[in-house]
Structure formats: C-alpha cells, structure tokens
C-alpha cells in the first residue's frame, strides 16, 4: 500500500509538471513567433557583413509529394553544408502547399502544377507574392502491363476515349477495332494529386473522368503499379520516376499527339519537349518577401537551383538545361537585390 | 419407443450443432492468427535486413543506405512525454468527476454517451480540430506542442472511458467504510478509490498512448514534417514522428525504400509491444482484489 502511494504521488507530480509546461508554452508561443522574424532579419544583416557560412534560422517547405524526393535531396545536402539552418519539409500536396504559402506560413511551396489564378489572387489579398522556380521535368507516363501485347503507342484521342466518362466506352474493341474485346481496367492517381490535375488538364481538358466499375483511384502510386502490372487489360498513368523504378513489369506507351509520330518518354524527349504534351515541369514557389528578408531563404533558393539537376537524376526525374538554371539564379539574385 | 428415437435424434442434432460451431470458432481464430503471422513474417522479411544501429541513429536522407529513423523516434518519444501527462491528468480528473461527484441524472448520462461516442470518432477529425484550434486559433503553428495537444485530445475519450470503468470497479463497500470513518470525499478518492483503480487506469492509458504513437493522419494535418534534420529542442520546434516517416517511405517508387519502411515498422512494433508489456506488468503488479 505504501509503495503504491509513493508511486501515485510521483506519477501525479510528473503529470502536473507536464500540465504546467503545457500551459506555459501557449502564452509564450505568440511572442516567439513575432520575434522569430525579427531575429532572422537581424541575424541576416550580421551574417551578410560577416560571413555567408554562419547562416542560421529556419526554412519551411511544403507541397507536392511528387516534388518531395527532390526537395528531400536538396534539404539533406544543404544541411550538410549549412548545418545551422533548420529546414522542415512537409508534403501535403500541391494544393495543400499553396494553402500555406498564400497566407505566408511557409517559405517554399512545392508544386507539380503551375499555381492557379485563384491561388495567386488569394496570395495577393494577403499581400504575398510567390515567385515560380522550375526545378526539374517529370514525364507523365502512360503505362500498361508487360503482358499487354496489343499496345505499343497510343494517340491522345484514344486516351480521351478510354478515360473520358462521356465516351461511354468500356471495352478495348470499342476504342479500336483491332484491340481485343476485353474490359478496360483503369488505374489513376487520386483527384487531389497534381499528377491527376495535369492529366485532367492536358488530356481530359477538364472533362469528368470515367468512374465506378473498372476504375481504381489511389493516392499511393505503388498500388497503381501493382494493379497495372498484373493485368494485361489495365492502363494507367503516373510520374516518370515510378515507371523507371518498375521498368521490368510495366510497358510505357509512346504518345502520339496527332502528328502520327509517337514518342516514348525518356531523358532526352522529356528535356527537349518532344514528349509532348505529357512532360511537365516541377516547381517550387518562393515567397518573395522572405527571399528578400531572410538570407537563408535566398541562400537555399540558389543552392536548390544549382543542385536541382543532381537531385533530379538521383530520384528519377529529368534535369533542366543549364541555361535555364542560370537564368533563374540571376532572376532570384535580382529579386533579392544581390 | 417413439419418444425415445425422437430424443436420440434431438441429441444427435445438438451434438452436431455443437461440433459445427466449435469448428467455426476455431476457423475464425486461425484466420486471425494467420493474418497476424503473415503480417509479422512479411515485415520481418522485408525490414530485418535494413535494421541496424545506423538506421536508429541517422536522420532522413535521399539515399536509402543513409536514411534513418532517428528524427522519428525522438519526435515520437517527445510527443509521448507531452501527451501522457496532458491526457492522463485531464482524463482521470474527468472520470473522477463523472463517477464520484456528478449527480446521476440525464445530463450526466448525456455527457457519458458523448464521451463514449468521441472515442469512436475517426482520428482525422481530431486532426482537423487540432488544426483549427491549436495551430490557427491559439497560433501555436506547426509545432511539437500543437501536435501533442491534438493527439492528447484524440486519446482523451479512451482514457476517460477506461478510467471510469476502473473507478466503477472499486466496491461501494470500502467507499462507505471510508466515509463512515469520517474521511471526506476527497480523502476517500485519494486514499481508497485511486489506489484501488490505478492498475485499470494505467492499463487503459498506456493502451491509449500506444494508439497515439501509431497514428499518422492527425499528425500530417497538424504539420509534422516529412523530412527534418534536427530533433526538437523546445515545445515550439518543428518535429516528425515514426509513422510519418514510414508512410513517407512506403510511397516511394524504388524498392529499397520499402525495406526501410519495413525496418521502421519493426521499430514501431517493438516500441508498441514494450508499452503493452508495461501495461500488463502494471496491471499484474498493482492488482489487488477486494
């Protein structure tokens, strides 16, 4: 009984301390946040004078899960060079990132699609300007199973007939009489993903996609890969990196954009733009005010651009041409007044 | 004669029904066991190769061989240290009020039912609540304390319900005895009720904490980072947690990341099993029957 009492008292002691600290912080936080920015700018001025190496402060990044691997590479390598700068990288989707960047919560907003008009407007209302930086290219790959023996290339029109709800075609033979009389099984990224947005824009032209029987939507690209590779009558699309990682079970289709000359995605065709219209740039949007005020944001932006090529290659995307990188670095320096 | 065959038939049928149900139950149990065995086999198979000391010490990295769970482990532990005191204090106090002080009327029953319902609310809803209140309204931002408070809310109903059960299990007789000796209500609670119900309360609380340590959805909403190279040094630090890192790895295309995710799951499982063992240990050690 006595043991128990000691235990109990000790437990309650710990609990109450916990509660006190919890309450204490709520009041402090507000002040903390106010002072952080001042601190950053103050430190920034010092470091500018002193030495670039002593950069510190925080960088907050969020946005597309497609861009996440590149950004993880960049923040990781940056941390090796500038360990004093704390980076926090999140991935809540392109739209989720813009939700935070348009109210000024984060420094970089990663996106696998360009910013929308309404998002620009929202940022404007809050007095925020976001500057677009291209990091790399991604080729949206349309894939079928390796077991599929009737498809090598496909035209955009055929894609539309397969994926559009209004076409009403559910069998391969209905799209092209040479194809087998089998149900078309569709695997597509979920509607929240930038990948779907992109496909929706360039192929479906914002018309509703088929849904219901025979259509699987998933935010997890590995689900799509598994589903497509095991069914010869399945078709789907996702980022180029996922195709490259699963080359042995998937077959990528050449895309014919109407000129009768199908192009398959690879490093060259994606970079030179001939894999059209399904190659897309991957972006990060930097908050212009923070770019000017926080030296670590500017420093990271330059670092990110300089190393985006290496990052892209490491994670399976395609690097930008060197001139384009330099152009953007110059623009950034000009914006930040350096 | 006729009644005899009738009763023998009846007997036979009852025996057969008995057998059938026995096998149905055995079958159900084997299904559950099989699922568990498959899960453990798959995870061990996938993750054991990547599980080593470096994996426990390293921060996330773009290269599978350099990536580790350290930030996640520390983040989850810090979360636990915050969640446990917050949720247990509030949860046990609530349970004490409902059981010992509150009048047994319709209003109390209404609260009671709502607490039980809250325990079944999907975790993502608590994430949204945390985002609205802690992140925005209290302007805590995407910080450790905001995450901890959100998770505390999530497991609070579970702790309240478990504590209530434990307090209710304390026999009325010894309460009455204590009061009869001239003890006040608080003295009775402090010296009689709480010591008697502590095993049940702690078991319930630790099981609830185990749930919190495995949750991903609410933490993603209140902004736990996917990749971070520092461990939290204050309540307002950015943070990450084990399930977030594991989830992040499973969504990568390359196979090596799946192995890392497997290794992460093993670590998470070990910590979960440890917490559950502690719960069982506490229950056995402090259990006293009246």
- pLDDT band at residue A241 using 50, 70 and 90 as cut-offs: confident
- Residues spanned by the domain of A158: 141-264
**Residue where the block lists tokens 């159900």:** B28
Say yes or no to pLDDT of A95 above 80.
Answer: yes
Say whether both A224 and A255 belong to one domain: yes
Q: Which residues of B touch A (CB under 8 A)?
A: 59-63, 81-82, 84-86, 88-89, 138-143, 145, 148-149, 194-195, 198, 220, 223-230, 235-236, 238, 248, 250-255, 286
- At B268 the pLDDT is 92
Taking residue A290's Cβ as centre, other Cβ atoms within 10 Å add up to 23
Give the closest of A28, A58, A246 to B253, CB-based.
A246
- At A314 the pLDDT is 83
**Second-level CATH architecture of B53-286:** Orthogonal Bundle (1.10)
Taking residue A123's Cβ as centre, other Cβ atoms within 10 Å add up to 22
- At A90 the pLDDT is 87
- At B180 the pLDDT is 94
Say whether both A297 and A327 belong to one domain: yes
- At B141 the pLDDT is 86
Of A230, A264, A298, at which residue does a domain stop?
Answer: A264
pTM passes above 0.80: no
**Residue where the block lists tokens 């290219």:** A137
Query: Which residue positions in chain B have pLDDT lower than 70?
Result: 1-3, 288-290
Say whether both A230 and A169 belong to one domain: yes
Say yes or no to pLDDT of A5 above 80.
Answer: no
Say whether both A124 and A146 belong to one domain: no
Residue A270 lies in a domain: no
CB A218 within 8 A of CB A116: no
Question: Would the CB atoms of A29 and B149 count as touching at under 8 Å?
Answer: no
Residue A23 lies in a domain: no
Q: What is the pLDDT of residues A24-61, one digit of tens each?
A: 443 333 334 343 444 444 444 444 444 455 788 889 99
Say whether both A159 and A241 belong to one domain: yes
Say whether both A158 and A122 belong to one domain: no
Neighboring chain B residues of A15 at a CB cutoff of 8 Å: 84-85, 88-89
- At B263 the pLDDT is 93
Residue A83 lies in a domain: yes
- At A220 the pLDDT is 79
Say whether both A150 and A258 belong to one domain: yes
The CATH number assigned to the domain holding A199 equals: 3.40.190.10
CB A240 within 8 A of CB A280: no
Determine which helix (DSSP H) or strand (DSSP E) holds A256, and give its type and residue range: strand A254-256
Smallest CA–CA distance from B84 into chain A, residue: A15
The total number of structural domains that make up chain A: 2
- At A7 the pLDDT is 57
Beta bridge partners of A131: A286
Residue A48 lies in a domain: no
- pLDDT band at residue A96 using 50, 70 and 90 as cut-offs: confident
User: Mean pLDDT highest for which of A239-253, A267-281, B17-31, B220-234?
Assistant: B17-31
Mutating which of A8, A18, A27, A226 best tests the B interface, going by the most B Cβ atoms within 10 A? Answer: A18
Neighboring chain B residues of A89 at a CB cutoff of 8 Å: 225-228
**Residue where the block lists tokens 């597509």:** A188
CB A315 within 8 A of CB A168: no
Quote the CA–CA distance of A130 and B208 in Å, as a whole number: 43
Quote the CA–CA distance of B157 and A123 in Å, as a whole number: 39
Residue A123 lies in a domain: yes
Say whether both A126 and A167 belong to one domain: no
- The contacts found for A212-218 with CB under 8 angstroms, 24 or more apart, are A214/A170, A214/A183, A214/A184, A214/A185, A214/A186, A215/A185, A215/A186, A215/A188, A216/A185, A216/A186, A216/A187, A216/A188, A217/A188, A217/A189, A217/A190, A217/A191, A218/A187, A218/A189, A218/A190
Q: Find the length of chain B.
A: 290
Question: Would the CB atoms of A73 and B62 count as touching at under 8 Å?
Answer: yes
CB A150 within 8 A of CB A181: no
CB B158 within 8 A of CB B208: yes
- At B221 the pLDDT is 87
Residue A80 lies in a domain: yes
Give chain A's end-to-end CA distance (angstroms, integer): 72
Q: Checking phi first, is residue A278 left (phi over 0); if not, alpha (psi -120 to 50) or beta?
A: alpha
> Which tokens in the block code for residue A19?
């509660």
Say whether both A130 and A146 belong to one domain: no
Quote the CA–CA distance of B29 and B44 in Å, as a whole number: 22
Question: Would the CB atoms of A89 and B145 count as touching at under 8 Å?
Answer: no
Question: Where exactly are the structural domains of chain B?
Answer: 2-50, 53-286
Say which DSSP state B69 is in.
S
Say whether both A145 and A256 belong to one domain: yes
- pLDDT band at residue A195 using 50, 70 and 90 as cut-offs: confident
- At B223 the pLDDT is 83
Say whether both A187 and A299 belong to one domain: no
Say whether both A191 and A151 belong to one domain: yes
ipTM of this complex prediction, to 2 decimal places: 0.74
Beta bridge partners of A285: A109, A132
């Amino acid at each position: 009984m006595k043991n128990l009492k000691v235990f109990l008292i000790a437990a309650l002691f710990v609990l109450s301390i916990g509660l006190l600290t919890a309450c204490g912080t709520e009041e402090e936080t507000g002040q903390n946040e106010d002072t952080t920015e001042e601190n950053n700018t103050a430190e920034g001025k010092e470091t500018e004078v002193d030495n670039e190496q002593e950069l510190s402060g925080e960088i907050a990044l969020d946005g597309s899960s497609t861009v996440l691997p590149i950004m993880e590479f960049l923040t990781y390598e940056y941390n090796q060079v500038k360990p004093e700068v704390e980076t926090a990288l999140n991935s809540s989707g392109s739209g989720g990132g813009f939700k935070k960047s348009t109210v000024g919560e984060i420094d970089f907003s990663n996106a696998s699609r360009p910013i929308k008009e309404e998002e620009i407007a929202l940022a404007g209302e809050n007095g925020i300007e976001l500057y677009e930086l291209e990091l790399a290219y991604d080729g949206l790959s349309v894939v079928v199973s390796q077991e599929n023996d009737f498809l090598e290339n496909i035209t955009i029109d055929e894609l539309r007939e397969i994926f559009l709800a209004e076409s009403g075609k559910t069998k391969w033979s209905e799209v092209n009489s040479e194809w087998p009389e089998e149900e078309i099984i569709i695997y597509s990224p979920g509607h929240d993903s930038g990948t779907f947005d992109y496909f929706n824009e360039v192929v479906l032209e914002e018309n509703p996609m088929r849904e219901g029987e025979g259509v699987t939507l998933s935010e997890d690209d590995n689900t799509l890969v598994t589903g497509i590779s095991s069914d010869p009558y399945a078709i789907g699309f996702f980022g180029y990196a996922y195709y490259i990682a699963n080359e042995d079970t998937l077959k990528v289709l050449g895309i014919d954009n109407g000129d009768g000359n199908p192009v398959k995605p690879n490093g060259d065709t994606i970079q030179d733009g001939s894999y059209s219209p399904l190659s897309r740039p991957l972006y990060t949007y930097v908050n212009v005010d923070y770019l000017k005020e926080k030296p670590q944001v500017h420093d990271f932006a330059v670092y990110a651009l300089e190393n985006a090529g290496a990052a892209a290659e490491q994670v399976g995307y395609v690097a930008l041409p060197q001139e384009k990188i330099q152009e953007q670095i110059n623009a950034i320096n000009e914006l930040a007044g350096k | 004669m006729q009644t005899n065959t009738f009763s023998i038939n009846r007997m036979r049928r009852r025996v057969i029904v008995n057998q059938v149900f026995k096998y149905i139950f055995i079958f159900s149990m084997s299904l559950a066991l099989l699922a568990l065995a498959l899960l453990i086999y798959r995870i061990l198979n996938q993750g054991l190769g990547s599980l080593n000391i470096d994996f426990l010490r390293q921060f996330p990295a773009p290269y599978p061989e350099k990536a580790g769970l350290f930030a996640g482990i520390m983040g989850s532990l810090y979360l636990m240290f915050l969640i446990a005191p917050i949720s247990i204090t509030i949860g046990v106090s609530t349970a004490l009020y409902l059981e010992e002080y509150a009048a047994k009327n319709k209003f109390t029953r209404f609260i009671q039912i709502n607490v039980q319902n809250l325990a079944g609310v999907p975790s993502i809803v608590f994430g949204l609540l945390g985002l609205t209140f802690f992140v925005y309204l209290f302007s805590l931002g995407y910080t450790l304390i905001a995450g901890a408070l959100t998770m505390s809310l999530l497991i609070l109903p579970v702790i309240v319900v478990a504590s209530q059960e434990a307090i209710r299990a304390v026999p009325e007789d010894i309460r009455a005895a204590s009061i009869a000796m001239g003890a006040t209500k608080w003295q009775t609670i402090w010296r009689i009720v709480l010591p008697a119900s502590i095993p049940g309360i702690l078991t319930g609380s630790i099981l609830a904490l185990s749930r919190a340590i495995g949750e991903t959805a609410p933490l993603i909403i209140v902004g736990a980072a996917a990749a971070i190279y520092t461990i939290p040094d204050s309540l307002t630090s950015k943070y990450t947690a084990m399930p977030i890192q594991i989830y992040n790895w499973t969504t990568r295309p390359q196979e090596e990341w799946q192995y890392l995710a497997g290794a992460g799951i093993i670590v998470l499982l070990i910590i979960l099993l440890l917490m559950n063992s502690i719960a069982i240990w506490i229950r056995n050690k402090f259990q006293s029957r009246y």
